[in-house]
Amino acid sequence: MDEILEILEKNAHITAEEIAKMLKKNVNFVKKAIKKYEKQGIILGYKTIINKELVREDDSEVRAIIEVRITPQKDVGFDKIAQRIYSFPEVKSCYLLSGTYDLLLVVEGKNIHTVSNFVAEKLAPLENVRGTTTHFLLKKYKEDGVMLKHKEENKRIAISY
């Protein structure tokens, strides 16, 4: 992969000027390369990783990983059913897998009930879906290569009489 892309993947906040210094290249060259990557769809966007545990509120979202077994469709394989599934707003990511399951979904909802309703009412009834397994995320330790800090737990010693 191109050096510019590697740097941006690690830190999307870095400027073209900083990249040019790091690579000992002309700033205009770096800016043009970034624009070209954006235009070609190689760079799809820039992302900030937020440690939601540190900003969590009572009404924070629940995240689940759902394994989906599907029957591929004739002449289009997995693509058409995958497109139908990833079009749901609850689906944040969708991957084609090898192994026991065909698709891996990352789904978000307001609570466990909204995620389970999504599975029961929208996902499972789809014609080509043969089965699902849902795993609710309890705690995140690392995301996109970044280790997350966690809230300090109350370390008071319990007193018993």
The per-residue pLDDT for range 26-77, each reduced to its tens digit, is: 999 999 999 999 999 999 999 888 777 777 665 668 999 999 999 998 888 8
Q: Which two tokens stand for residue 60?
A: 């924070």
| Co-location of 34 and 94 in the same domain | no
pLDDT for position 51: 79
Q: Which two tokens stand for residue 46?
A: 């820039």
pLDDT for position 53: 74
Query: Where would I find the beta strands (DSSP E) of the chain?
Result: 62-70, 91-96, 103-109, 129-136, 142-143, 146-147
The torsion defined by the Cα of 95, 124, 65 and 99, in degrees rounded to 10, comes to -50
CA distance 61 to 115: 10
SS3 83: helix
| Co-location of 35 and 77 in the same domain | no
In the DSSP assignment, the letter for residue 158 is: P
| Co-location of 33 and 97 in the same domain | no
| Co-location of 72 and 128 in the same domain | yes
What is the tens place of the pLDDT at every residue in 148-158?
Answer: 887 666 666 76
Residue 111 lies in a domain: yes
Full-model pTM: 0.77
pLDDT for position 59: 61
- State yes or no: pLDDT of 83 exceeds 70: yes
Q: How confident is residue 84, by pLDDT bands cut at 50, 70 and 90?
A: very high
In the DSSP assignment, the letter for residue 57 is: -
Q: Report the domain count for the chain.
A: 2
Q: Which two tokens stand for residue 40?
A: 């070609």
| Co-location of 35 and 72 in the same domain | no
Q: Which domain holds residue 67?
A: 62-139
Q: Which two tokens stand for residue 137?
A: 């995320």
| Co-location of 72 and 123 in the same domain | yes
What CATH number did the domain enclosing 95 receive? 3.30.70.920
Residue 146 lies in a domain: no
| Co-location of 18 and 76 in the same domain | no
Residue 97 lies in a domain: yes
Average pLDDT rounded to a whole number, residues 87-92: 97
| Co-location of 8 and 70 in the same domain | no
| Co-location of 117 and 79 in the same domain | yes
Residue 150 lies in a domain: no
| Co-location of 11 and 71 in the same domain | no
CA distance 69 to 148: 32
CA distance 121 to 127: 12
| Co-location of 81 and 22 in the same domain | no
Average pLDDT across the chain, whole number: 90
Question: Please, what's the b/e burial string for 87-98 (b: 16 or more CB within 10 A of its CB; e: otherwise)?
Answer: eeebbeebeeee
